[in-house]
C-alpha cells in the first residue's frame, strides 16, 4: 500500500499552477453523454475519480482518448443505458450520470452510490426532480430503474436545499427535454456555472437569472465543443493552507480569485497577506497564524465544506481559539482524531469544532480517511515537527493531481512510498521470524 511521508517544518516558497477542477470536470464528463458529437475537455485533471468517469463513459459506448491535459469524448456511439454496480461504486458522484443517460437514451439502470464516510448522502432531491421532469423511477434495494418514454418534459422545480449534485442532474436532464424548466433554489457553486457554460457551448439554452434561479429551454440535440475546465478552488485552498501553516510565501497561478473570496477572507483574518491579480494569488503567511472565530460552512458563496478540513489543519497551531461549524455534512470531522494524534487540542460538540491552538504539531502515523481529510493530514504534516506517515492515500488521489510533486516544487519534503512506512530506519520494527509449525 502506498503512503505519503512528510518531513515537517519546511517553509513553502515558490509558484504553483493549480490543477483543473475535479468537481467541474466530473459533471461535464457526464454531460458529454448528451452530445451527439465529439467534445474536447481541456484542463481536465488526471485523477482516479476522473478515470472512474472515463470507465463509465467507455462502458456506455463512448470513445474516450486522453491527451496531455485533455480528454476527447466521442459520444456518437452511446449504446448502453445501464451502469454496473462495480463502476457506480467507484465514485459517489457517478449519480450525475443518471440525468444524462436518461435524457439521451430514455432509460437508465444504475444503483444508488450509497453513503460514505462524511454522511448518509441521500439522493431524494435528484429523484424527485427527475420524477417532476416526467421520469418513472423504480427503486428497489438501491437499484434504480428509470424510464422516460416519450422523453422528459420541462417543468418548474423548487429545491428545498441547493444540492450541487441535484442541480447538475436537473441541468443534464432538462437541457434536452421538451419545453422549458425553471429551477428555483439551484446550487450556485462555480462548478455549476462551468457545467452551464459547457452545455451552452454544445447548443443548450440555459440562462442564470441570479439568486439560484435557472431557466433551461430544452433543445432537440446537442453538438460537440471544446471546453476548458475551471481551476480547482479546493485544491487551491489546500495549497494556501499548506503555505500558511509553514509560514510560507507562495504564488498560485491559473486560479479564479473570485471563487476563493470566502476562503481568502479566512486566511487574511489568520494574519496572511494576500494579493490577487487576474488569474493568480500571492499569499505571505506570518510566522504564526492567528486564530479565526466563527468559520461556518455553507453553500456557495459561503465557506465550502470541502475546505473545512484543510483550514482546521492550518488553524490547529494558530494563536488563540478558533471555531469551525460544519453545516453541510453530518459527519465531516473524521480528521479531528488524526489531528489530535498529532498533538492538536480540538474538541467537537455537535457540529462545531473548538480549536485551542498549540505551538506545534508533531509527526505521527495517520490515515487519509476521506479525500479532504487526507489533504488535511498533508497540511498538518507540513507544519508539524518530525515525520508524518499517511496511509490510505487512494482517497487523496481521487482529488489531487500529483500532490507530492506540487508540494515538492514549493520546497516541501514529501514523498510517496510504496513500502510499509517510515523513512527513518530507527522507527522501523526489527523483523522477528517465528518458527513455522505444521500439523
Measured CA angle at 69 (ends 67, 70), to 5 deg: 60
Is residue 125 a contact residue for ligand UD1 (CB under 6 A)?
A: yes
- Whether 116 sits among the annotated catalytic residues: the reply is yes
Q: Please report the DSSP string for 195-248 in residue order.
A: HHHHHHHTT-EEEEEETTEEEEE--S-B---EEEPPB-HHHHHHHHHHHHHTT-
Q: Give the nearest distance from C-beta 182 to ligand UD1 in angstroms.
A: 19
- Which of 304, 363 has the CB closer to ligand UD1? 304
Distance of closest approach, residue 335 Cβ to ligand UD1, in angstroms: 14
68-97 residues in contact with ligand UD1 (CB under 6 A) are 93
Instruction: Tell me the closest approach of the beta carbon of residue 168 to ligand UD1, in angstroms.
Output: 7
CB nearer to ligand UD1: give 23 or 251.
23
Instruction: Report which residue's Cβ sits closest to ligand UD1.
Output: 165
CB-based burial of residue 122 (10 Å sphere; 0-12 exposed, 13-18 middle, 19+ buried)?
exposed
Confirm or reject binding of residue 100 to ligand UD1 (CB under 6 A). Answer: no
CB of 300 to ligand UD1, least distance (A): 7
Nearest of 23, 52, 24 to residue 229 by alpha carbon: 24
* Among the residue ranges 102-110, 160-168, 224-232, 418-426, the one whose residues contact ligand UD1 (CB under 6 A): 160-168
Q: Which residue has the cell 485552498?
A: 237
Member of 7, 43, 163, 322 binding ligand UD1 (CB under 6 A):
163
Using CA atoms, how far apart are residues 356 and 316, in angstroms rounded to an integer? Answer: 7
Question: In which element (H, E) is residue 266 found?
Answer: helix 261-269
Under the binding rule (CB under 6 A), the answer on residue 280 touching ligand UD1 is: no
Catalytic residue among 111, 116, 146, 406: 116
Full strand arrangement of the beta sheet holding 3-7:
365-367, 387-391, 3-7, 413-417
Q: Applying CB under 6 A, does 53 fall inside the site for ligand UD1?
A: no
Q: How far is 281 from 406, CA to CA, in rounded Å?
A: 16
Interaction between residue 165 and ligand UD1 (CB under 6 A)? yes
Where are the extended beta strands (E) located within 86-189? 107-111, 136-140, 143-147, 156-158, 180-184
Query: Does 247 participate in binding ligand UD1 (rule CB under 6 A)?
Result: no
Residue 184: CB atoms within 10 A of its CB come to 14
List the interface residues with ligand UD1, window 291-310 (CB under 6 A): 304-306
The answer to whether 5 and 193 are in contact (CB under 8 A) is: no
Stretch touching ligand UD1 by CB under 6 A, among 116-124, 172-180, 209-217, 350-358: 116-124
314 close to 247: Cβ distance less than 8 angstroms? no
Q: Which residues contact 333 (CB under 8 A, 6 or more apart)?
A: 326, 348, 353
Q: Per-residue x/- marks for ligand UD1, 177-216, CB under 6 A?
A: ----------x---x-------------------------
328 makes contact with ligand UD1 (CB under 6 A): yes
Among 31, 166, 245, 314, binds ligand UD1 (CB under 6 A): 166
158 binds ligand UD1 (CB under 6 A): no
Query: Given the rule CB under 6 A, which of 124-132, 219-227, 244-252, 376-384 is the region that contacts ligand UD1?
Result: 124-132
Figure out which of the listed residues 23, 112, 264, 367 binds ligand UD1, where binding follows CB under 6 A: 23
Q: Of 356, 404, 354, 357, which Cα lies nearest the Cα of 377?
A: 404
Which residue, 142, 27, 64, 22, is CA-closest to 399?
A: 22
- Does 119 bind ligand UD1 (CB under 6 A)? Our answer is yes
Q: Is 123 in the site for ligand UD1 (CB under 6 A)?
A: yes
Q: Does position 376 bind ligand UD1 by CB under 6 A?
A: no
List residues with catalytic annotation: 116
Binding residues for ligand UD1, per CB under 6 A?
Answer: 23, 26, 93, 119, 121-126, 161, 163-166, 187, 191, 304-306, 328-329
Amino acid at each position: 500500500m502506498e503512503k505519503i511521508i512528510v518531513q515537517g517544518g519546511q517553509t513553502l516558497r515558490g509558484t504553483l499552477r493549480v490543477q483543473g477542477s475535479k468537481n467541474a470536470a466530473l459533471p461535464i464528463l457526464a454531460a458529454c453523454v448528451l452530445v451527439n458529437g465529439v467534445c474536447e475537455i481541456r484542463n481536465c485533471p488526471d485523477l482516479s475519480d476522473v478515470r472512474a468517469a472515463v470507465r463509465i463513459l467507455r462502458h456506455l459506448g463512448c470513445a474516450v482518448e486522453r491527451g496531455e491535459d485533455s480528454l476527447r469524448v466521442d459520444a456518437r456511439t452511446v449504446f448502453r443505458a445501464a451502469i454496473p454496480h462495480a463502476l457506480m461504486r467507484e465514485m459517489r458522484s457517478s449519480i450525475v450520470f443518471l440525468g444524462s443517460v436518461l435524457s439521451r437514451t430514455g432509460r437508465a439502470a444504475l444503483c444508488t452510490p450509497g453513503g460514505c464516510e462524511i454522511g448518509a448522502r441521500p439522493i431524494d432531491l435528484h429523484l424527485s426532480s427527475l420524477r417532476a421532469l416526467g421520469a418513472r423511477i423504480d427503486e428497489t434495494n438501491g437499484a434504480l430503474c428509470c424510464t422516460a418514454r416519450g422523453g422528459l418534459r420541462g417543468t418548474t422545480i423548487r429545491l428545498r436545499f441547493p444540492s450541487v449534485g441535484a442541480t447538475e442532474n436537473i441541468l443534464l436532464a432538462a437541457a434536452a427535454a421538451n419545453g422549458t424548466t425553471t429551477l428555483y433554489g439551484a446550487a450556485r457553486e462555480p462548478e455549476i456555472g462551468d457545467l452551464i457554460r459547457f452545455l451552452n457551448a454544445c447548443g443548450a439554452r440555459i440562462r442564470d437569472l441570479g439568486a439560484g434561479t435557472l431557466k433551461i429551454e430544452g433543445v432537440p440535440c446537442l453538438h460537440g465543443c471544446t471546453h476548458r475546465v475551471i481551476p480547482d478552488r479546493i485544491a487551491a485552498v489546500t495549497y494556501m493552507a499548506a503555505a500558511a501553516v509553514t509560514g510560507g510565501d507562495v504564488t498560485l497561478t491559473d486560479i479564479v480569485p473570485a471563487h476563493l473570496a470566502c476562503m481568502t477572507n479566512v486566511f487574511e483574518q489568520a494574519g496572511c497577506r494576500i494579493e490577487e491579480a487576474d488569474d493568480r494569488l500571492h499569499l505571505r503567511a506570518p510566522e504564526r497564524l492567528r486564530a479565526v472565530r466563527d468559520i461556518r460552512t455553507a453553500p456557495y458563496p459561503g465557506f465550502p465544506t470541502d475546505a473545512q478540513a484543510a483550514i482546521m489543519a492550518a488553524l490547529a497551531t494558530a494563536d488563540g481559539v478558533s471555531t469551525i461549524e460544519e453545516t453541510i455534512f453530518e459527519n465531516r470531522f473524521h480528521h479531528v482524531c488524526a489531528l489530535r494524534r498529532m498533538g492538536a487540542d480540538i474538541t467537537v460538540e455537535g457540529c462545531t469544532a473548538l480549536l485551542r491552538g498549540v505551538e506545534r504539531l508533531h509527526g505521527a502515523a495517520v490515515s487519509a480517511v476521506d479525500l479532504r481529510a487526507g489533504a488535511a493530514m498533508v497540511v498538518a504534516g507540513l507544519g508539524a515537527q518530525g515525520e508524518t506517515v499517511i496511509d490510505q492515500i487512494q482517497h487523496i488521489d481521487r482529488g489531487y493531481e500529483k500532490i507530492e510533486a506540487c508540494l515538492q516544487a514549493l520546497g516541501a519534503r514529501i514523498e510517496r512510498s510504496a513500502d510499509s512506512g517510515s523513512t527513518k530506519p530507527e522507527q522501523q520494527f526489527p523483523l522477528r521470524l517465528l518458527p513455522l509449525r505444521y500439523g
